[in-house]
Amino acid sequence: MNIALAQLNYHIGNFDSNTAKIIDTLKTARSNGADLVVFAELCISGYPARDFLEFREFIDLCEKSALTIAAECTDVACIIGIPTPNTGPHGKDLHNSAYFIADGKVQQVVNKALLPNYDVFDEYRYFEPETEFACINFKGHRIALTICEDLWNTIENPLYMIRPMDKLIEQKPDMMINIAASPFAYNHDEERIAILSDNAKRYNLPLFYVNQVGAQTEIIFDGGSLVFDKQGELVDELPYFKEVLTYYVLKDDATITPQQPVTLMPERQSNIEQIYRGLILGIRDYFYKSGFKQAILGLSGGIDSAVVCALAAEALGAQNVMCVLLPSKYSTGHSITDAEGLVNNLGCMSETVEIKSITDAFETALHPQFEGLPFNIAEENLQARTRAVVLMAMCNKFGYILLNTSNKSEAAVGYGTLYGDMCGGISVLGDVYKTQVYQLANYINREREIIPQNSITKPPSAELRPDQKDSDSLPDYDTLDTILMEYVEHRKSSAEIIASGYDEATVRRVLKLVNTAEHKRYQTPPILRVSPKAFGMGRRMPIVGKYLS
């Protein structure tokens, strides 16, 4: 049997585009001799379709797309992912399903049994888990078809009560197929390979695994679909962050022969290279899928906005990136020259808008209220907010989308101005700690100096008052980022973090900063997720709470 794996980029709710892409791929695969083409989990609707799934009309459109695709399935079979109505008397309205389509119609429906409901996942909000299991017979093979999480219950202290493959193996399948929508995190590829290899070995079956690729607002799918032989050895690892269609001949003795050259990745990409590629895809898809072409951002001369600018230029083309220099009376000379250097290196558009006359106008207008009171955070934030208003005015006038440039360290401790530098359509670095931003800058400069070296080496500063440095109010970033990683990603307690060797007062202060900044993060743009625990939908905290705050 010739099996094709279609690792494609879908768009939530865009039925015309998703259906056309699937049909085009089917035709190509058929002409290349494929018997069966495997698409990803919920490819019909895109993933995650969230509460669109609560609209019966949306579900009907999914079914209509599937029937259109089925009509094309002559001389080729396929597996697609689709939400379907739960026709039973109990439970949630839907199943997260796979259709096995052959001879022009849906031959069999397989429903997902293990429904992730942690981090960014909300599947139990919509779907009823399956409790009955049946293999698919096709061309003399018996296929154990599962959906994503269904294979992820092999760990100790499992999250779910059953293992679907333990049921399916009783029916003596000779191969496994798993269709997935498995989001990117910089450390997820190795875990995925280990879990899936373990499944192939455990059940002594070859395994074909198809993931989505592409970004859906904040959630990035990295592709990296996988093929294992029945010993659990990797036969193929598809490229990351791009669409691809590959072919494999599976013989009756369960050996697998790839029909194209295979480059098994000799060593994993570094975390930073993965983050870089993930962010590029995240920016590109955000603009493409929302119908915009051009980005705008404020360029401060600092490292965060420089890295965002370089990423945007790579994702959208430098000609589609507008950089705005917004100097104030506290901006230092090198801020402007560093920003100009970057613009020149990349070839972006740029404008300069001095904000002093505007902040002066605010201060004059507020003079009756503020008279006699010392300069404080009110005046600092005025500058950040004035910049945001200028940038948003240019968005409204010219159709740009504003890129947010806050990093994860700042977002964590609330070191940023709400409605100021925390504005934007999408946050590019909101899941990238400051220490990782430095690594990204060096990665961007790996072949030539794009980001001026001075932006990398100078002490970070918000430049909202004379001689301000980040280190005036925050621990050094190495310390801060380690504490944040332990607290945010590993969910360690303050006692555990202190016990691992950090100063108690610093730990308590950092955790308190994190927990009291929840109201700010609530109103920030969606953040491109590149870690196992990003701020946003995957981390849901009370705003008016009193824990560690």
Please state, in angstroms and rounded to a whole number, the distance separating the CA atoms of residues 209 and 192: 10
Question: Of 21, 25, 36, 52, which lies in the binding site for its own copies, with binding defined by CB under 8 A?
Answer: 52
CB of 503 to its own copies, least distance (A): 19
Is residue 499 within the footprint of its own copies (CB under 8 A)? no
> Which one among 7, 197, 217, 407 touches its own copies, defined by CB under 8 A?
217
Among 297, 423, 440, 441, binds its own copies (CB under 8 A): 423
Which range binds its own copies by CB under 8 A, 180-188, 302-310, 468-476, 539-547? 539-547
Site for its own copies in 457-496 (CB under 8 A): 491, 493-495
Q: How many residues does the chain have?
A: 549
Q: Which residues are identified as catalytic?
A: 41, 112, 148
The runs of H, that is alpha helices, within 188-261 are 188-203
DSSP label at 124? G
Residues 286, 276: contact at Cβ < 8 Å?
no
263 CB neighbour count, 10 Å cutoff: 9
Question: Does 353 help bind its own copies (rule: CB under 8 A)?
Answer: yes
Provide the minimum distance between the beta carbon of 95 and its own copies in the complex, in angstroms, as a whole number: 14
295 contacts: CB under 8 Å, gap ≥ 6: 283, 287, 312, 316, 320, 321, 322, 400, 401, 402, 403
State the nearest-atom distance from the C-beta of 395 to its own copies, in Å.
8
* Amino acid occupying residue 91: G
Where helices occur in 353-452 by DSSP H, the ranges are: 356-365, 367-370, 377-398, 408-413, 434-444
Window 11 to 40, contacts with its own copies (CB under 8 A): 11-14, 17
List the one residue from 35, 150, 222, 285 that touches its own copies (CB under 8 A): 285
- Minimum Å gap between C-beta 358 and its own copies is 5
Query: Which residues ranging from 368 to 387 are in contact with its own copies (CB under 8 A)?
Result: 368-370, 373, 376-379, 381-382, 385-386
Residue 542 in contact with its own copies, rule: CB under 8 A? yes
- Window contacting its own copies (CB under 8 A); options: 27-35, 152-160, 300-308, 405-413: 152-160
Q: How far apart are CA 57 and CA 65, in angstroms?
A: 12
> Taking CB under 8 A as the rule, which mask of x and - marks residues 60-99 in contact with its own copies?
-----------------------------xxxx-------
Indicate the residue among 33 and 91 with the shorter CB distance to its own copies: 91
Of 38 and 281, the one with the shorter C-beta distance to its own copies is: 281
Query: Among candidates 434, 521, 418, 440, which has minimal Cα distance to 485?
Result: 434
The C-alpha atoms of residue 546 and residue 524 are separated, in whole angstroms, by: 21
Instruction: Name residues contacting its own copies, limited to 153-182 (CB under 8 A).
Output: 157-161
Other Cβ atoms closer than 10 A to 523 = 10
Ranges within 508-537 binding its own copies (CB under 8 A): 519, 522-526, 537
**In terms of Cα–Cα distance, which of 165, 192, 172, 325 is closest to 265?**
192
Among the residues of 414-517, which ranges form H helices? Answer: 434-444, 453-457, 477-484, 494-499, 504-516
Site for its own copies in 388-417 (CB under 8 A): 388-390, 392-394, 396-397
